[in-house]
């Protein structure tokens, strides 16, 4: 595994995570940092997964979120729940849209890097500790990032790289030093 890929994965995840968070507001009280997956595992958060695939690799992105605590109420306060819709389902739909934003930004970054990729739709995993399950399928590299609200855990993301057989020694994902262009094509709408 090329160690430069690990650094570039962290850049992709960081840029994607920051753009996703810009849509939820209140950034003055949020702090973002790389985290160890043990912290994510200890929280028992649920996860939504989305994948990006090319002919030489696949990226699995997971957005880890709370179900029943103060952090979940932070997100629920940000969305308008329809009178006829279950608040919990509306919250899960909102988290799926955040995952779409996270993955969509990563997909655009990879496009700028010259990769032709495709993106899956988000799926809510029925398990907790999804990081343990990802370890079982042996990723080539992984990075994790977290967002904290007033020092408490709010939302986290993980990015896993799987390199297709035959590309292990020559795949190099190079992210440009300058950020991606802010263009309207490929942006996702929130419903």
Query: What's the angle, vertex CA 26, arms to CA 21 and CA 32, rounded to 5?
Result: 50
Q: What range defines the domain where residue 29 resides?
A: 3-163
What percent of the chain lies above the pLDDT cut of 90?
A: 38
Q: Is the residue at 126 inside a domain?
A: yes
Q: Is residue 135 part of a domain?
A: yes
Using CA atoms, how far apart are residues 134 and 4, in angstroms rounded to an integer? 21
Q: Are 176 and 110 in contact (CB under 8 A)?
A: no
Taking only the tens place, the pLDDT of each residue in 70-114 is 556 666 666 666 555 677 778 888 899 999 999 999 999 998 888
Could you tell me the CATH number of the domain that includes residue 114?
A: 3.40.1550.10
Residue-level pLDDT at 114: 85
Domain annotation covers residue 184: no
pLDDT value at residue 86? 73
Residue 7 lies inside a defined structural domain of this protein? yes
Query: Rounded distance, CA 49 to CA 79, Å?
Result: 21
Q: Which residues pair with 34 in a beta bridge?
A: 145
The number of domains in the chain is 1
Whether residue 121 is contained in a domain is answered as yes
Using 50, 70 and 90 to split pLDDT, how confident is the model at 69? low
* Residue 33 maps to a domain: yes
Q: What angle do CA 155, 48, 146 make, to 5 degrees?
A: 20
- The pLDDT of residue 184 is 45
């Amino acid at each position: 595994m090329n160690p430069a890929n690990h650094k570039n994965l962290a850049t992709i995840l960081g840029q994607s995570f920051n753009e996703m968070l810009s849509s939820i507001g209140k950034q003055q009280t949020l702090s973002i940092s790389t985290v160890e997956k043990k912290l994510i595992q200890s929280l028992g958060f649920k996860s939504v997964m989305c994948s990006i695939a090319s002919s030489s690799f696949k990226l699995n992105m997971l957005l880890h979120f709370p179900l029943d605590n103060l952090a979940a109420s932070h997100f629920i306060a940000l969305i308008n729940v329809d009178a006829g819709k279950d608040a919990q389902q509306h919250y899960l739909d909102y988290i799926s849209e955040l995952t779409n934003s996270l993955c969509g930004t990563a997909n655009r970054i990879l496009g700028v890097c010259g990769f032709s990729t495709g993106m899956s739709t988000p799926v809510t995993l029925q398990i907790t500790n999804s990081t343990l399950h990802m370890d079982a399928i042996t990723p080539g590299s992984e990075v994790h990032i977290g967002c904290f609200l007033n020092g408490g855990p709010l939302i986290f993301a993980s990015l896993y790289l799987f390199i297709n057989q035959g590309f292990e020694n020559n795949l190099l994902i190079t992210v440009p030093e300058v950020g991606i262009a802010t263009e309207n094509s490929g942006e996702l709408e929130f419903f």
